[in-house]
Amino acid sequence: MSPTQRKTLPLRFALYALLILLSALFIFPFLFMLASSLKDNDAIFTDVESLRAVLPVGDLMLSNYVAVFARGNIGHYLFNSILITVLTVLLGLFVNSLAAYALARLEWSGKQAVIVVLVVMLAVPLEAISVPMMLLVTKLPGLDFSEGIALTSSWLDTMHVQIIPFIANAFSVFLFYQFFRDIPKDFDEAAYIDGASPFQVYRHVIVPSSVPVFATVAILQGLAMWNQYLWPVITVPGEDARPLMIGMQQFFAARRIEWGEVMAYASVITVPILLAFIFFQRWFVRSVVGSGVKG
């Protein structure tokens, strides 16, 4: 070990110790949730004063999960949330990446004005436009598939009212735009010389070079859709199209709170999105690191 490395060793040790401490603080609630979902109320409150609160020890049971699926309509709500999230993310990846490709790689009149509008839209939260959006969707004719295909008087209480308004996303377009503009345009010019169309350049040049940002957008947009609460509350009064987040409120309404069941329901909500993040993690990290290197 060189003298310089020996001098920096205490600093590195302190840095790693701090990172381990922060990691423990962030993972503690998750471990507590999983461990508590396997215990009854008495065991949860007994163990909360010790390290046993985050460990799967004691009389463990799966009855909390059985109760969650048996007493509520969680299977249907889970299916709705997965369908809404997957469709929104897949359609959003295509629509938002195409919009960003047009902004980053093509030349057309009014492009700078659209970029300015896009940046302004980043500062507009859903809460500010949710009521006007709701008034709009109440006037739009929808489709009812319960008995064949029939027109309905509005989009309220449907699946597509939770999908279509969120396919185009300003933040996703901005992420794609930032990534696409850093790809050398020599690739585009070489493809155009070979006779490729703009869409073929997007399909065969831009998309294969942008897997990290696609994974990043998929994670962020999927997380936002999975945790959607305000919009379903005001647009989905019935149970057929209700997502998982709203189902939790309905499940525990007018019932004696069993904290083991609460933690089991929370685990069902958390684990799918956590697994998706773990699956896309390496591309997510590559996107963040790549953005930092490009400045």
What is the residue-wise DSSP string for 234-284? Answer: HH--SSTT--HHHHHHHHHTTS---HHHHHHHHHHHHHHHHHHHHHHHHHH
Q: How many CB atoms lie within 10 A of CB 25?
A: 9
Spatial distance between the Cα atoms of 153 and 236, rounded to a whole number of angstroms = 14
Residue 152 φ then ψ, to 5° = -115, 165
* Three-class secondary structure of residue 2 per DSSP: coil
pLDDT for 294 beyond 50: no
Q: What is the pLDDT of residue 201?
A: 94
Q: Where are the alpha helices (DSSP H) in the chain?
A: 3-36, 41-47, 63-71, 74-105, 111-121, 126-137, 170-180, 186-193, 198-201, 211-226, 230-235, 244-252, 259-294
Under a CB-based contact definition with an 8 Å cutoff, are residues 105 and 200 in contact? no
Q: Tell me: the pLDDT tens digits for 214-263?
A: 988 998 999 999 999 999 999 998 888 889 888 877 777 656 778 888 89
| Whole-number average pLDDT of the chain | 85
> Which residues share a beta bridge with 143?
151
Q: What is the CATH number of domain 68-127+157-294?
A: 1.10.3720.10
Cα 241 to Cα 235: distance, rounded to the nearest angstrom: 10
CA 187 to CA 196: how far, in whole Å? 11
Tokens of 157: 């209480």
Residue-range domain boundaries for the chain: 1-61, 68-127+157-294
pLDDT at 146 over 70: no
pLDDT score, position 255: 66
| Tokens 């839209």 sit on residue | 121
Handedness of CA 271, 272, 277, 278 (dihedral sign): positive
pLDDT in tens, 262-275: 899 889 888 888 88
Q: Which residues contact 216 (CB under 8 A, 6 or more apart)?
A: 175, 280, 283, 284, 287, 288
Cα–Cα distance, 202 to 179 (Å, whole number): 13
Query: 29: which residues sit within 8 A by CB, 6+ positions away?
Result: none
| Residue given tokens 């463990």 in the structure block | 60
213 φψ region: left (φ > 0), alpha (ψ -120 to 50), beta (else): alpha
Tell me what the mean pLDDT of segment 78-84 comes to: 93
DSSP secondary structure string, 142-174? EEE-TTSSEEES-STTSSGGGTGGGTS-HHHHH
Residue 114 has a pLDDT of 93
Q: What is the DSSP letter of 52?
A: G
The fraction of the chain above a pLDDT of 70, given in percent, is 88
